[in-house]
Amino acid sequence: MIDYPTPPYPEQQQDMPGTTGAMTPRPDHGEESYAGSGRLAGLKAVITGGDSGIGRAVAIAYAREGVDILISYLNEHEDAKDTARLVEQAGRKAVLVPGDIKEAAHCRKIIDTAVNELGGLDILVNNAAHQATFDSVADIPDEEWELTFKVNIHAMFYLVKAALPHLSAGASIINTTSINADKPNPGLLAYATTKGAIQNFTGGLAQALAEQGIRVNCVAPGPIWTPLIPSTMPAEKVSKFGEQVPFKRAGQPAELAAAYVMLADPRSSYTSGATIAVTGGQPII
């Protein structure tokens, strides 16, 4: 078992959306620890927010399990290049597509590029997210509320709709929700509300696509150490991040990768409509 850092972490702040290299301690994405076994050999995946954080950890794991990957990201070019390098070191193809997924046309571009560059699509990981912290509901601008919904839930609909003509029986859609779907943080009201919507979207979509043999599941992370944290939270909260869960620390992106691998694995053929909680011992009941 890896001895991961525990709070207090150094107080730190970044501009949105944040970068991996500026974080202390540096997140673990499984660069040194994840060893693949060919569980997903020959499959093709799209991962949104694949440049850093959970998305990077999933990209590393998928590549080492035999997957070619399109990495969708906003504008974090250096982080995205680092992730692509790790995918290519595993002997798999990496395609980078920057841009804003709140735009439906860009979501269609992502899927079209994946089909053309990878030769098909088997796995869609809807992982990218936007959040911001506010002490009062009155402080949340209308534009911020709308942006959070556009990035976190509207984009999932656009991507799924574009992907469906290219997905066949056995394909897998995996959405990143959050512990906030069940235990909403009032300081993250917009974000938490979208995460509840994602969980409902996942459950409804799983039923809608069952006859086509397409599985739909979601992963609900607890507090995870990613660039989203120092770029969206006050420095004093960053220092204490994760201390509220039973494990008394933030989770590392590497600790979520196995859940995404399991849900994409064709051997998980009876798992659909599920939420996998990875929360450092905090129950979701």
Catalytic residues: 191
Strand (E) or helix (H) holding 53 = helix 53-64
Give me 52's structure tokens: 């850093």
CA–CA gap between residue 114 and residue 130 (Å, rounded)? 23
E-strand stretches of 147-282:
172-176, 215-221, 275-278
Question: What is the phi/psi pair of residue 97, to 5°?
Answer: -130, 100
Helix (H, G, I), strand (E, B) or coil at 151: helix
Name residue, tokens 């693949």.
36
Question: What is the phi/psi pair of residue 72, to 5°?
Answer: -95, 135
Strands laid side by side in the 172-176 sheet: 94-98, 68-73, 44-48, 123-126, 172-176, 215-221, 275-278
Give me 39's structure tokens: 């569980």
Strand (E) or helix (H) holding 264 = helix 257-264
CA–CA gap between residue 176 and residue 249 (Å, rounded)? 20
β-pair type (275-278, 215-221): parallel
